Structures are given as C-alpha cells and as structure tokens.
Chain A
Amino acid sequence: MNKLLVSPSPHIHADVSTRSLMRDVVIALMPALLVSVVFYGWKELLVIGVSVASCVLLEYLITRFMLKKPSTIGDFSAVVTGILLALNLPATTPWWVVLIGAVFAIGVAKMTFGGLGQNVFNPAIAGRVFLLVSFPTYMTHWEMPQGLFGADAVTGATPLGQVKEGLLQGSTLSQILDVDYLQMLLTNIGGSAGELSAVALLAGFIYLLCRRVIKPHITLSIWVTVALVSLVFWLVNPERFTDPLFNLLTGGMILGSCFMATDYVTSPMSVMGGIVYGIGIGFITLMIRYFGSYPEGMSFAILIMNAVVPLLNRAFHQKKYGRA
C-alpha cells in the first residue's frame, strides 16, 4: 500500500492557477493582436515578436542566473507583459527600442521588486512610459493603418494628437475634428496597435468577464468617471473640450481600462478600493488630456494610481460577517 498522504483541509482545489488566469488574458488579447497585425502588417508582427520574446527571455535569465531560483516563465505573466507592451507601441518602433522597453518593464519594474505579485507599477505601462520619455520621436511617430499588404506608409497623428496640436495653434474643436465614431469603434484610428480597434479589445474584455478572470468594477468606474467629468467640461465649452464619447473611444482608454488598470497585482483588493482607484484613473487621464502637455494621459494616470494602491488597500476592506 502507498504511504497515506496527510495534509490540513481543504483536500481539493479549484481548477484555477496563475498559469490558467494568465492564459485567459493572453487569449483575451488575441483579437486585438490579430487586428493590429492585419492593419499594420509585418512591422507590427516584429514589434510583438521582439517584445514577447525579450520579456520571456529576460524573466528566464533573471530568475535563473541572478536570483538563482526556479524560472517563473511558466506562469505566462511575462507573455502578458510582452503583449501589452507591444500593444502600447507604434508599429514603426525599431526593434532595439522595443528591447529596451522590455528590459525596463521586466528587469526594472517587475523583477527588482521581487517578481510577479510584488511589483508596485504595472510593468508594461512602466516600460511604455520609460520609452515615451526616453525616445519621444519613435513613440509619437504614428503611421496610418495600411493593411498587411498595404502600399507605402502614410504618417499621421492620432486623434488626440490632432486635438492637442490644433488647440495649441488656436483652432477650435469643430475646425480640428471630423471623426466618425463608428469607425473609431471598429478600427482605423491612427495610434499604437492597442488603440486600433475598440471592438476587438472589448471582445477580449467580455471574454475575461465571462471566464470570471476579472471583475468589471474598476473598468466601469473609469468609464463612468471619464464620461461624467468630460460631459461637464464639454457642456461648459464644446469648442475647447472634447465630448465624452470621443474620450472613451480614443487613445489607450479601452486598452488601459480593460487590461492595464485591471491588472491584479497593481490594483486594489477590495471592490470599494477598486472603484476609488478607477475614479482616480479616469479623472487624472482627463486632466492630462485637457490641460497637460501630452495628448494622452492613460498610462500616467494608471502609474500614479498604482502608487496609491497600498493606501487604498489600507483604507478599504471587505464587508465582514457579523461586524458593523
């Protein structure tokens, strides 16, 4: 007879692991990846490939040779970081810039804090912001979607970039913008791969919700905040401030609110904390968009709120049974 196995209860485990959760996130990001490859062509494929490969390789090298621990790449978290980083970069980014972003994301933002679960800031966003500050030319060089087999690339500005530029030159919004919301929802917004198609991202988000990988409260809280705050500004001066729908559909709003702000590690544990966190992200994003010098503020907003998370965890707790 075998030796009896003895352990404290419970003796069974739910069919869920870090690996299965991360795999679901990768699956959820697939539609957005596909759309971006179809529209931006092989350049985007190169960015994604370099980003994912360097993130995974770096995590492997750091865990095995610097920390001398078993490798943690099997949990797919490095793959998720790689994909998110790629979706945050323009398709024209040179491979070595992507590599530097990956080094910062995994090497500095994740592993120096102790690896998965210990990092304060979302690694992919930290990587993106590092590149944005260090290589602004590459990071703001957008190419209009041309398709996988498209003709020569045409460079252009993102809608948010157009707005910022136009307002600085003293134009009014109605002179600058001529946007088709349906098109914005489907595809064809100039910008990074992840800003391309709101529908593809939302499909992934709904998949995550159905699989109960994430809860919707943070995302909803961001959307509601953005919608309400921009509504107020827009009503006050529609020629100076963009409208709610525009703000919800442009830039990194969908990618950020669905996939980056909801990152387990860097978001608050309690529902109430998550809502406050979402309000903060939505508000800061809009303030940067309206008054800041950068056209887009989603990444900065998430990073700033990441830093507040420990305080939110302290302030907000679960509702306990039998305690007021």
Chain B
Amino acid sequence: MNRTFSIGGVHPHDCKISRDCAIQPMPLPQTVYISVAQHIGAPAKPIVAVGDKVKVGQPVAEPGGFVSAYIHSSVSGTVKAIAPRADLAGNKQLCIEIAVEGDEWMEGIDTSDTLRTDFPDDNKEIIEKIRRGGVVGLGGATFPTHVKLSPPPGKVCEMLIINGCECEPYLTSDFRTLLEKGQQVVIGTAILKQALGVDKATIAIEENKPEAIEHINQVLTQMRKVSSKYTGITVMSLRKRYPQGGEKQLIDAVMHRQVKSGGLPIDVGAVVQNVATALAVYDAVQKNKPIVDNSITVTGECFPKQANLLVRVGTPLRAIIDYLGGMPADAVKVISGGPMMGKAISNLDAATVKGTSALLFLTEKQTRRKPESNCIRCGRCADACPMGLEPFLLNRLALNGRTDELEQNAVQDCIECGCCLYSCPACIPLLDHIRQAKAQVMGILRARAAAAKAAAGK
C-alpha cells in the first residue's frame, strides 16, 4: 500500500479526461494583458512606459519588495497602456497591455530544444537567475521561488519534495509536463536540490499516473549516468487522495512529519516545489528563459475539445476559449484551476497569469449547489478535514462571530481545501463562512504579533 497523509481527505472522481492530450502551443493572441500582481507578496512595479517596444522575455516590471517577483513580457510588440483592468473576479488590477507584433525574443534566451544537463556549481548565481526569471511557485500559491530557496538562518533543509501529485480532479498539465518534459523537470529538481544544499529530493506522484512514475524513473536512471549531481533524487508513488498536493499534507505523506501550526515547512526540514516550478527553474537557469508561458489544462465533460495548451502569460481567457471552439452551450461555470480549490470566473475578459493552471467548464448539474438543510451532526466534515479541524463547530462559531473560540479551535489552520463542503450531506456552505472567520482571526493574530513586536521594540 502506498503512503499517504494521516488525517482526513476525500476521494473525488478523477475525471482526468484530458490526460492523453499532448501539450500544444497556442497561437499568439492579438493583445496580452500582463498583471503586475501575479504572485503572493508586493505587486511588481512597471518599468516600461506606454509606447515602448518590448521583446519576448524582456522584464516589464521589477519586484516591489523582497517577497515579490520580476514580470516579463510574454510577447513582442508595443506597450499600449498601463492601467487598472478587471481580473477574473472583477477586481481592478494594474495591467500592462501589449499589442502583439511578430514574435521576437530577447537576446541570450535559448529557444532551442537542446537539453542542457550541466549546470553551474555556484548557488548564488543559480538563485539570482531564478529571481531574474521571475520564477514563482506554480502549484497554486505563486510564492516567489527565490525566497523559498533562501531559508532563514538556523533552519536546515533535509529534503526537497517535488509535488507531482496533481490531486485535484480534471487537471492534467503537471502530468503531461512529467511525461513530455521529464528530463527538464529532473534537471530542474537537481538544480533546486543543489541550491538548497540537500542530499535528498523526492518527486511525489500519485499512483493514478503510472506512466509518469515509470517515465521519471527511466529518466533518473539515465541521468545518474550523466552526472553525480543526479544522485539522491527518487520517485515516490503516493496513494490517490485529495488534498495530497497540499504542502502540509504532502510533507506528512512523504516524510511522516507534521508542520506545527503557524510554522513553515522548513521547520521540519522540508521544502516543497511544484513540477511546473521545477520546469520553470530549468528554463530560467539553463536556457535564460523567464516565465513567459505556462501549460493550462482546458477541460470539462461539456467542453468538446479537451486540451493541454502552452499559453503565453496574459492571454485573454476568451481568446483561449475561442481558439478551442467557443463556450459550450450547457457550461454555466468556468473555473480557473481545479474544481476543489479553483476560482470561479465572473469576467471572461480577464487574462491568464503565471499561476493559471486550468480552465474548467462545468454544467449546471455538476456544480449548482443544493439547497442547504439542517446539520445532522454526522461528522463527515470533521472526518474529511485534512487538518483535523471540526468544520461544523467552526461554522457555528463563525456565524455567531465568536473569534476567541474560533482561534482556540484552530480556524487559522484551515487550508481552504474544500473537503468539508464537498462531503457535507446537508450542503451547508461550511467553507464559505469558515474562510471569512479565518481571515478575521488571521487579522487579529497579525495585529497581536505586530503589537507584541512594537512592545518588544520599546
């Protein structure tokens, strides 16, 4: 029996209907809208002006702080505007609008397919290249990668975990990446491993992707012959269970260690990076190619043309949908990401960002919420919660605004995976309220920490 995490979890249907679609590049759109807030942390600051000519891979915005990232032009053309634009939730974000003219890349970017297996020994150089490449965690949180590679002093990393679980139903872009760019992912892993100074790296893949597991094992045997830098990397097959791809759950599954509440993975000696991030690291370090495109799964039972597309960052969602034959008549919900944690899109004129991993189309029957009824206290939400919380209790406390008790019952540990709402037979919108309560309690905790810091400063 394969390993998995120890608390909670659910088993949604796989629905990986696009698993056999090879990754194909999408033709360039006419205009791209590149948001300056594509990562967690401070938004980037634009360094181009309206009317400037830019090339593919040219930086258009620089980090706005330590936890921030470079943003590059994903096309060549003219900057038309730098103005707020509605994102997929209808909220205004500063965007750089670039009209596409041809496809001219920056000098120094290797656009060929040749595999480069040897990488520099200097870690500083590697981290700087990753920073310059605007690499962020592509597993969903979009946390700047170079920050994660600089562990705080005193903390030692023991294992690098490459997250290839893709535990969300429908998504297949990581699976396709593992199959088609397995060598690049492995090289990226080796680079990350060296930069972190760890001996061990584990590529964790769920057992429902046997082809990927086999392929990566083959690649590893091959690469170990090339250089000693590739020793210490192993593949681990994990039991299929959602939310295995959650950072804390994955560490529990792979290392049997649990990150303390409020702590970081590095506290238990782990750093987790996504498969797509490993590929981006390879591109940035070996090819000088920053993140200008990412692979996006376009899927859903009602969507006629399943695809895994390589899409330039900032492509309008509507352009992707039109390219694949337009909006299906019976689709009512379009989701950016998977069905468990993805965001429902209210504005199809929004553009993709680095972290966009999928466009999922669901029908009324698949996604419409059923009317809420009384809690029957079956405890299914508590059984499903991978953090061991009691959603029924948190929901009740949240509705009554009892912040003290919410904090005692660890609402701040919630990872918003959606298992509680998914498994509730009474269809109570548990997570909706718990998410609000979590935000409120996190605010209180931050204020308290700030006050404590100020008091210590005096």
| Chain A residues in 8 Å Cβ range of B341 | 9-10
Given known contacts A13-B370, A14-B12, A264 and B378 CB-to-CB distance under 8 angstroms:
yes
Give me the interface of B with A, judged by CB distance under 8 Å: 7, 10, 12, 169, 248, 252, 258-261, 263, 327, 331-335, 339-346, 348, 360, 362, 364, 366-370, 373-380, 382, 385-390, 392, 409-410, 413, 416, 418, 421-423, 425-427, 429, 431-432, 435
State A265–B346 Cα separation when bound (angstroms).
38
B332-A18 in contact (CB<8A): no
Whole-angstrom distance between the alpha carbons of A124 and B108 in the complex? 78
Q: Are A11 and B377 in contact (CB under 8 A)?
A: no
- B413–A320 touching, CB < 8 Å: yes
Q: Interface of chain A, helix or strand or loop or mixed?
A: loop
Point out the residues of chain A lying under 8 angstroms from B376, CB to CB.
18, 21, 77, 116-117, 264-265
A318 to B419, CA, bound (A): 15
Complex CA–CA separation, A115 to B373 (angstroms)? 11
Q: Which 8 A-B pairs have the closest CB atoms?
A: A10-B418, A117-B374, A320-B388, A5-B333, A322-B258, A264-B378, A5-B332, A269-B379
* A20 contact set on B, CB distance < 8 A: 425
Count of A residues near B, CB < 8 Å? 39
- Pairwise interchain contact A8-B432, C-beta atoms closer than 8 A: yes
Q: Is A2 an interface residue (CB 8 A)?
A: yes
**Whole-angstrom distance between the Cβ of B142 and the nearest chain A Cβ:** 16
Q: List 16 A-B contacts (CB under 8 A).
A: A5-B368, A7-B369, A10-B431, A11-B342, A12-B339, A13-B369, A18-B425, A72-B373, A72-B374, A77-B376, A116-B376, A117-B376, A318-B7, A320-B261, A322-B260, A323-B410
Q: For residue B418, which residues in chain A have a CB less than 8 angstroms away from its CB?
A: 9-10
Evaluate contact between A12 and B378: CB separation under 8 angstroms: no
- Verify A17–B370 contact, CB threshold 8 A: yes
List A256-292 residues whose CB lies under 8 Å from chain B.
264-265, 267, 269-270
Report which of A9, A115, A320, A322 forms a contact with B340, defined as CB distance below 8 A.
A9
Main secondary structure on B side of the interface with A: loop
Q: Given A17-B427, A265-B376, A322-B248, A11–B367 Cβ distance below 8 Å?
A: yes
B263, A322: Cβ atoms closer than 8 Å = yes
The answer to whether B410 touches A269 (Cβ under 8 A) is: no
Query: Closest B-chain residue to A269, C-beta based?
Result: B379
Interface residue A75 (Cβ < 8 Å from any Cβ of B):
yes
A66 within 8 Å of B by Cβ? no
**B182 vs chain A, min Cβ distance (A):** 30
Complex Cα distance, B344 from A13, in Å, reads 15
- B12 contact set on A, CB distance < 8 A: 12, 14
Closest beta carbon of chain B to A271's beta carbon, Å: 9
Q: Taking the complex as formed, is A210 at the interface, i.e. its CB lies under 8 A from any CB of chain B?
A: no
Q: For the complex, is A211 an interface residue (Cβ under 8 Å from B)?
A: no
**A315 near B: Cβ within 8 Å?**
no
Asked if A317 CB lies within 8 Å of chain B CBs, one says yes
A7 to B435, CA, bound (A): 13
Tell me whether A4 and B374 are in contact (CB under 8 A).
no
Question: Shortest CB–CB separation between residue B248 and chain A, in angstroms?
Answer: 6
Partner of B366, one of A12, A16, A77: A12
Any B CB within 8 A of the CB of A183: no
A2 CB contacts on chain B under 8 angstroms: 331-332
The residue that A9 contacts in the complex, of B342, B345, B346, B390, with Cβ under 8 A, is B342
Query: Is A321 at the interface (CB under 8 A from chain B)?
Result: yes
- Say yes or no: B431 contacts A320, CB within 8 Å: no
| Interface mask (A30-41 → B, CB under 8 Å = 1, otherwise 0) | 000000000000
